[in-house]
Chain A
Amino acid sequence: MKKIEAIIKPFKLEDVKDALANAGVQGMTVIEVKGFGRQKGHTEIYRGSEYTVDFVPKLKIEIVLPDNVVESAIEAIVAAARTGKIGDGKIFVLPVEQALRIRTGECGDGAV
């Protein structure tokens, strides 16, 4: 099992969700986050005063998947979230030791 953490532009959520659904992914967790990478923040100017806003609002999608669908899920996210401009986000893939469905007690691939 792998965990995919994808940081995307907020307005791309619908597209990414649909693309993942088409790729057979059944669920996901979405978190509102703030951060910056090479895109950096932006500048706000109020009359004469300039303020740099370092942290840009983003969404983080977390999904845990069986190893065999990880590749197609990543492809789906990339295709849906890409605008080609700086700030499109990043995808991280992490190994997952165990998963368990609380209602039934199922473990492993069957639980995700």
Chain B
Amino acid sequence: MRTKLSGFVTIGAVVTVLAGFAWAGEALKEPSLEQRVADLEAYVNNGSRLADVASKISGPGPGHNAWLMVCAALVLFMTLPGLALFYGGLVRRKNVLSVLAQCLGIAGLVTILWWAVGYSLVFGSGGSILGGLGYAFLNGVDSAPNPDYSAWVSQNVFSIYQMMFAIITPALIVGAVAERIKYAAVLTFVALWMFVVYFPLAHMVWGAEGLMNGVWNAHSKIKAIDFAGGTVVHMSSGWSALVLCLIVGKRLGLGKTTMAPHSMVLCMVGTSILWIGWYGFNAGSALAADAIASNAFVTTTLATAIASVTWAAIEWITRGKPSVLGLCSGVVAGLVTVTPACGFITATGAVAIGVFAGLIPFLACVKLKAMLGYDDALDTFGVHAVGGSLGSILTGFLATAKANPNLATNLGEIVGRTLWLHQLAAMAITIVLAVAGSAVIALLVKVTIGLRPNVEEETVGLDVVDHGEQGYILE
């Protein structure tokens, strides 16, 4: 009895001391009932937490957090297997595995970089161009929200969600150089490219102190807006893809031998997965299950469907047949083009974007490529650079505070007036960074480990040469 009692006393003392530390550390008052209701309302409205009282809600808000975890998985689903199948179906049979291996390899490589320093360089506090190393190795990134980005989503969930964007962006580039680049060259290029192009650009556009973060950084020099990655993801990958495919050169036998897609079925399956996953990408970029996410969900759907119909209709009129690849290309072009705009525009704006997204990338893929003769094998430039640029500038004209009240906070003066000029400035910085960065890295890889397989290897196919496997063993 005596022992038990002393045990209780000891535990009691420890608890008291710990509680004392906690109170001493926070020194916050017990909230009144009204403050507790206000805290809950802030959760429901995705507003800021009350700062001056102790909250009864510990950790993240379950609804917003759940949505972001689902969205993170959806964005990964876009790359694996969405993009991998979309691209994989479009190459010849002998190279299908090389594309799948590139997507998988990039997913692993970027994850490691993101854990080490990537997240910190993009979302850690630093300068207006690049973040610091405070979050290196995800130090201090735990389940508590980081109010710089979301009051109600765990920072570790936020970090992994953003990592999925960092994975798909370099994976998009491989489409332009498919069927003719060494596996080691792809991975080396991507590893360097993340540091030179992606991390700085993502910080400038989405970092709390970013140079071009018009919505959230009141002190940003360029008041540009990019909801889900028109500049960061699509323009950066698309313009880099053009440079890389010019430096790598054309596929052997281009124009002489058939390079028709080996499976339009896989391509269509991949396209559909991309469309589904893109809801995590676009609607998820609201970083909450809120009204802005709802709107982005609708605008994404409308623009995509209309772009697909437009692209196929143009084919039907000009060639007599609507192709499955045309329908698929229209879907992706619509998704890309609406990406920077989706959380800032109304449904009507999305319809306008859909029409342009079906028309302009079509011309880029079919006319411009034939005219200039570059071998952008799977049209990464035609769809992502052209669609991303188109979407970024259209966002400048179509964004409205009616669709997104956050536009009234720091941008009330310029939305609907001079926003498009800021968009142009952000686009120019994106293009210069992507083109110059990619050119330097590509040349560096070329003179060190080399970019291309030799003629025999390219003829045999990269599946057997680089991976020792075949995609299909049909007996």
Contact = CB atoms under 8 A, between A and B. Distances in A.
Interface stretch (B207-215, B258-266, B419-427): B258-266
A84 to B, nearest CB: 22
A51 B366 contact: no
Contacts of B73: none
A37 B382 CA distance: 38
Interface of A is mostly: strand
Contacts, number: 27
Contacts of A47: 325-326, 329, 365-366, 369, 379, 382
B412 to A, nearest CB: 42
Nearest to A43: B319
Nearest to A52: B258
B10 interface: no
Interface residues of B, number: 17
B369 A48 contact: yes
A46 B258 contact: no
Nearest to A47: B365
A49 B319 contact: no
B323 interface: yes
Contacts of A46: 90, 260-261, 323, 325
A30 to B, nearest CB: 21
Contacts of B260: 44, 46, 49, 51
B367 interface: yes
A80 to B, nearest CB: 30
Nearest to B264: A46
Contact of A51 (B258, B319, B323, B325): B258
B258 A48 contact: no
B313 to A, nearest CB: 15
Chain A interface size, as a band, is under 10
Interface string B333-376: 00000000000000000000000000000000111011000000
Contacts of B90: 46
B366 A48 contact: yes
Contacts of A53: 258
A31 interface: no
A94 interface: no
Contacts of A44: 260
Nearest to A48: B366
Contacts of B258: 51, 53
B254 to A, nearest CB: 9
Nearest to A45: B319
A43 to B, nearest CB: 10
Contacts of A49: 259-260
Contacts of A45: 319, 323
A94 B379 CA distance: 52
Interface in A15-38: none
A53 B259 CA distance: 11
A102 to B, nearest CB: 28
A55 to B, nearest CB: 11
A51 B256 CA distance: 9
Contacts of B365: 47-48
B331 to A, nearest CB: 14
A44 B260 CA distance: 8
A46 B324 CA distance: 9
A54 to B, nearest CB: 10
B323 A48 contact: no
B367 A48 contact: yes
Nearest to B326: A47
Contacts of B379: 47
Nearest to B363: A48
Nearest to A53: B258
Interface string B244-273: 000000000000001111000000000000
Interface centre among B260, B319, B367, B370 (most CB of A within 10 A): B260
Given A46-B325, A53-B258, 12 more contacts: A44-B260, A46-B90, A46-B261, A46-B323, A47-B325, A47-B326, A47-B365, A47-B366, A48-B366, A48-B370, A49-B260, A51-B260
Interface of B: 90, 258-261, 319, 323, 325-326, 329, 365-367, 369-370, 379, 382
Report, nearest first, the 4 A-B pairs whose CB atoms are least far apart.
A48-B366, A51-B258, A47-B365, A51-B260
Interface of A: 44-49, 51, 53
8 contacts: A44-B260, A46-B90, A47-B366, A47-B369, A47-B379, A47-B382, A48-B365, A48-B366
